[in-house]
Amino acid sequence: MNENLKIGVMASKLGEARDWRQNKKAKRKSSEKDTRRLIIEAAERLFLQIGFHKTTVADIARELQMSPANIYRFFTTKSEINEAVCTDLLGKIEAEAEKIAASRSTATQRIRKLIGAVETTHHKRSIFDRKLHDLIDAAITENWAIMRRHNECVAAILEQIITSGMASGEFPQGDATLATGLIYTACIRFRDPRLILEHEGEREPTLDQMIDFCLAAIGGATILDFPSKKDRT
């Protein structure tokens, strides 16, 4: 075998070895991701049955027929599992919000659908999945970082809708960020799980009335002309 052929064979073998290592690493990452997903799903099932406070890492391990030590390979504490489940629940709301924002409806319709979807999801959970509702409640009460990120995410989606409404001429030009903050604050009773439960059964103001009020405010230049906080002296 001449020298060039030897070099070519060696390079080929090195390439195969590199590809094997990369494939093995990719499979391991995929497997770890799948296991993490299974842990979150098992935890959510147990949270729904007995509550997140009563569920232990040992319970989750038993549900998956694995050792607690294996659970701790993916989550260092039970609190991390609580946050992962909560993130999963909130992520479904965010995905629905993004879907609404991307729809072909008018900006007015999308705002109504967005706030309505958030309210409906939390209301249904407070009735049918009360123990999962308690997890979200704890995240708000204890000011978990994931809840702050969630609120920022939904508010950003709302601002995207308002901005598109201004660009299309549906709303007058103005401070979209300020308008978003005002609407998001005004509708807190219909997007905060605790307040939704607290005010359940009260006839007015209804969600439609509050959204109508907010949309009327956006339609007038007065509110949108208020100086933003950074502009005030």
Residue 13 amino acid letter:
K
State phi, psi for 210 to the nearest 5 degrees: -65, -40
The token pair that represents 137 in the structure block: 């409640």
N-terminal to C-terminal alpha carbon distance within the chain:
83
CA atoms of 153 and 97, how far apart (whole Å): 9
The token pair that represents 94 in the structure block: 């965010």
Task: Kindly indicate whether the domain formed by 79-226 is annotated with CATH number 2.40.160.40.
Answer: no
Q: What is the pLDDT of residues 28-55, one digit of tens each?
A: 555 778 999 999 999 999 999 999 999 9
**Domain parsing of the chain, residue ranges:** 1-76, 79-226
**3-state helix, strand and coil shares in percent for the chain, rounded to the nearest 5:** 80, 0, 20
Q: What is the pLDDT of residues 108-145, one digit of tens each?
A: 999 999 999 999 999 999 989 999 999 999 999 999 99
Common-topology check for domains 1-76 and 79-226: no
**Would the CA dihedral through 65, 71, 77, 79 be positive or negative?**
negative
Q: Please report the pLDDT score of residue 153 as a whole number.
A: 97
User: 80, 39 in Cβ contact below 8 A?
Assistant: no
Question: Which whole number is the average pLDDT over 167-175?
Answer: 91
Buried b or exposed e, range 94-111, using 16+ CB within 10 angstroms: bebbeebbeeeeebbebb
Residue 200 amino acid letter:
E
Task: Kindly indicate whether the domain formed by 1-76 is annotated with CATH number 1.10.10.60.
Answer: yes
- Angle formed by the axes of helices 207-219 and 107-128, nearest 10°: 150
Question: Which whole number is the average pLDDT over 74-84?
Answer: 97
The helix or strand, by DSSP H or E, that contains position 58, with its residue range, turns out to be helix 57-64
pLDDT tier, 85 (very low <50, low <70, confident <90, very high otherwise): very high
User: 53, 82 in Cβ contact below 8 A?
Assistant: no
Whole-number Cα distances in Å, 126 to 47, 51, 135:
14, 13, 11
| Higher-scoring residue by pLDDT: 72, 216 | 72
Q: Please report the pLDDT score of residue 224 as a whole number.
A: 41
